[in-house]
Amino acid sequence: LHQQVPGPLWKLGRLNHIAIAVPDMEKATALYRDVLGATVSEKVPLPEHGVYTVFVELGNTKLELLHPLGEKSPIAGFLQKNRSGGMHHICIEVDDINAAIADLKAKNIRTLTAEPRIGAHGKPVMFLHPKDCDGVLVELEEA
Amino acid sequence: LHQQVPGPLWKLGRLNHIAIAVPDMEKATALYRDVLGATVSEKVPLPEHGVYTVFVELGNTKLELLHPLGEKSPIAGFLQKNRSGGMHHICIEVDDINAAIADLKAKNIRTLTAEPRIGAHGKPVMFLHPKDCDGVLVELEEA
A84–B134 CB contact, under 8 Å = yes
Domain that holds residue A94: 12-142
In the predicted model, is pLDDT for residue B3 greater than 80? no
A68 domain-assigned = yes
- pLDDT tens for each residue of B40-89: 999 999 999 999 999 999 999 999 999 999 989 999 999 999 999 999 99
What is the average pLDDT across A4-11?
73
A16 domain-assigned = yes
B5 domain-assigned = no
**Of residues A18, A83, A132, nearest to B18 (C-beta):** A18
B59–A11 CB contact, under 8 Å = no
Cα angle B99-B108-B75, degrees, rounded to a multiple of 5: 85
Residues above pLDDT 70, as percent of chain A = 95
d(CA A85, CA A60): 24
DSSP characters over chain B: --PPPPPPSS-EEEEEEEEEE-S-HHHHHHIIIIIS--EEPPPEEEGGGTEEEEEEE-SSSEEEEEEE-STT-TTHHHHHH-TT-EEEEEEEEES-HHHHHHHHHHTT--BSSSS-EE-TTSSEEEEEPGGGTTT--EEEEE-
d(CA A17, CA A61): 6
A110 domain-assigned = yes
Count of the separate structural domains present in chain B: 1
Give A 8-47 residues with CB within 8 A of chain B: 8, 10-15, 18, 20, 22-24, 27-28, 31, 35-38
Residues 6+ apart with CB under 8 A from A67: A21, A22, A23, A24, A25, A28, A51, A52, A75
A65–B134 CB contact, under 8 Å = yes
In the predicted model, is pLDDT for residue A5 greater than 70? no
Instruction: Provide the ipTM.
Output: 0.93
A123 domain-assigned = yes
Are B62 and B56 a contacting pair, CB within 8 Å? yes
CATH number of residue B87's parent domain: 3.10.180.10
Task: State the pLDDT at residue A4.
Answer: 58
A6 domain-assigned = no
B3 domain-assigned = no
Q: How far is B12 from chain A (nearest CA, A)?
A: 7
B6 domain-assigned = no
